[in-house]
């Protein structure tokens, strides 16, 4: 029996803070791959497609294991999952300092780092969905803003470390940062408020009766027979294709247009800063206007950003692109988990999010790899940006066609 009490301080906010820090470090470190891209390529003479291939393998591995991470989170809670992932992530980065051949890159970054990154999203977002109902969008946005803060801090830090100590020592430092901060923050995580005698949003038992807690919801087997599940899979695949193409190649594209490396890295910082605002603002607004409408607006913003990038080759266009893309990218990430919880409930949310995350990682694997191949062939990123623009328009159309699931459990 859950106690009928309203504590002065709700522990859910500690969950939010810990999840924010974990997401900040995990994604921040991960987004430095584009910064290490050029020094590794210069030392070994590897093509952009070849180095992008290791990132593609990493995305596939983390996508497959995100399903496992979600399942384990549903059963045992997020703390154990995050600690295990932190160990693999740190080991991968520490050993990356020793690579000498292509298969080293693919094994260490593609597989080991991929295993570590499998816990970067699902354990935190599924846990927050259990701790918050009325403020689910806002709190999810705050957590995911961690990746925006990480993208503002880690790439510039990586650039400075590489210029000062070289890329090998820089990988060791990144590995130590990941191990210490992620494991420390993970100790604060708890699976759900019921384990601590609490209710979502810090409400009393009386007030909670009015909340749509959705404790049951769809099972995984029921979810995969719902057309809404596969529609979201397509949306996430296309969105991740575009987003990770930007994160991996925008610095290289910028330097190709004559922007210095330092200023090119600042484009990632702008994306991170604006997406930080986008996750919090859009997450809060979505709680009031609806998750589908908020998500559609974000996708439209990204469509405009990419199509604008296609028609202009001047360097200055990258800055308004970073602002518009950052807003849409951050906002869309904040809204997705609450939207899925609204559609399918909380019973198997971690596993469902893991399955959806897998589809996103397929897109994240294909996008940068294809963009690298396009550049190696045409010496231009313009065709890649055109593909991204088209895919974002497709996402808008599919989202507009997305309908609610039936309230009766198991109906599609």
Task: For Cα atoms 249, 291, 237, give the angle at the middle one, nearest 5 degrees.
Answer: 35
- Rounded to an integer, the average pLDDT of 85-103 is 95
290: region left, alpha or beta (phi > 0 left; psi from -120 to 50 alpha): left
Q: Is pTM beyond 0.75 here?
A: no
SS (H, E, C) 289-333: HCHHHHHHHHHHHHHHHHHHHHHCCCHHHHHHHHHHHHHHHHHHH
- pLDDT tens string 326-352: 999 888 988 888 888 888 877 677 778
Cα–Cα dist 73/75, whole Å? 5
Other Cβ atoms within 10 Å of 227 Cβ, number: 12
Specify the range with the lowest mean pLDDT, choosing from 239-243, 272-276, 378-382: 272-276
What SS3 class is residue 385?
Answer: helix
User: Which helix H or strand E contains 391, and what residues bound it?
Assistant: helix 382-400
Close Cβ partners of 80 (under 8 Å, ≥ 6 residues apart): 72
Structure tokens, 124 = 């935190």
Domain 12-195+211-400 has CATH 1.20.1250.20: yes
CB 341 within 8 A of CB 129: yes
Question: Quick one: what percent of the chain has pLDDT higher than 90?
Answer: 39
Specify the range with the lowest mean pLDDT, choosing from 145-149, 188-192, 310-314, 323-327: 310-314
């Amino acid at each position: 029996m859950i106690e009928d009490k309203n504590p002065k301080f709700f522990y859910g906010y500690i969950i939010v803070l810990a999840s924010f820090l974990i997401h900040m470090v995990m994604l921040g470190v991960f987004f430095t791959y584009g910064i290490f891209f050029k020094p590794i390529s210069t030392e070994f003479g590897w093509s952009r497609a070849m180095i992008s291939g290791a990132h593609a393998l990493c995305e596939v591995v983390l996508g497959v294991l995100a399903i496992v991470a979600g399942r384990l989170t549903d059963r045992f809670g997020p703390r154990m999952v995050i600690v295990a992932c932190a160990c693999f992530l740190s080991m991968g980065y520490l050993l990356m300092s020793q690579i000498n051949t292509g298969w080293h890159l693919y094994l260490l970054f593609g597989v080991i780092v991929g295993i570590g990154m499998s816990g970067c999203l699902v354990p935190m977002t599924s846990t927050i969905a259990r701790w918050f109902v009325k403020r689910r969008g806002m709190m999810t946005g705050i957590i995911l803003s961690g990746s925006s803060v990480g993208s503002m801090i880690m790439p510039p830090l990586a650039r400075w470390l590489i210029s000062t100590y070289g890329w090998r020592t820089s990988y060791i430092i990144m590995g130590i940062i990941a191990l210490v901060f992620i494991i420390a923050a993970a100790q604060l995580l708890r699976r759900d408020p019921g384990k601590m005698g609490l209710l979502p949003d810090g409400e009393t038992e009386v007030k909670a009766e009015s909340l749509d807690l959705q404790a049951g919801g769809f099972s995984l087997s029921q979810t995969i027979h719902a057309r809404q599940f596969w529609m979201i899979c397509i949306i996430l695949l296309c969105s991740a294709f575009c987003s990770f193409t930007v994160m991996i190649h925008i610095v290289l594209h910028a330097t190709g247009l004559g922007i210095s490396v330092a200023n090119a890295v600042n484009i990632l910082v702008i994306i991170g800063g604006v997406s930080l605002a986008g996750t919090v603002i859009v997450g809060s607004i979505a709680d009031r206007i609806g998750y589908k409408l908020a998500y559609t607006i974000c996708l439209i913003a990204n469509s405009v950003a990419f199509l604008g990038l296609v028609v202009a080759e001047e360097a200055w266009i990258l800055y308004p692109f970073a602002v518009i893309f950052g807003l849409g990218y951050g906002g869309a990430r904040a809204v997705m988990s609450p939207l899925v919880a609204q559609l399918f409930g909380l019973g198997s949310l971690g596993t469902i999010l893991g399955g959806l995350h897998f589809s996103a990682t397929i897109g994240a694997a294909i996008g940068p790899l294809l963009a690298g191949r396009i550049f190696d062939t045409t010496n231009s990123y313009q065709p890649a940006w055109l593909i991204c623009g088209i895919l974002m328009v497709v996402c808008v159309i599919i989202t507009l066609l997305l309908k609610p699931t039936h309230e009766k459990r198991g109906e599609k």
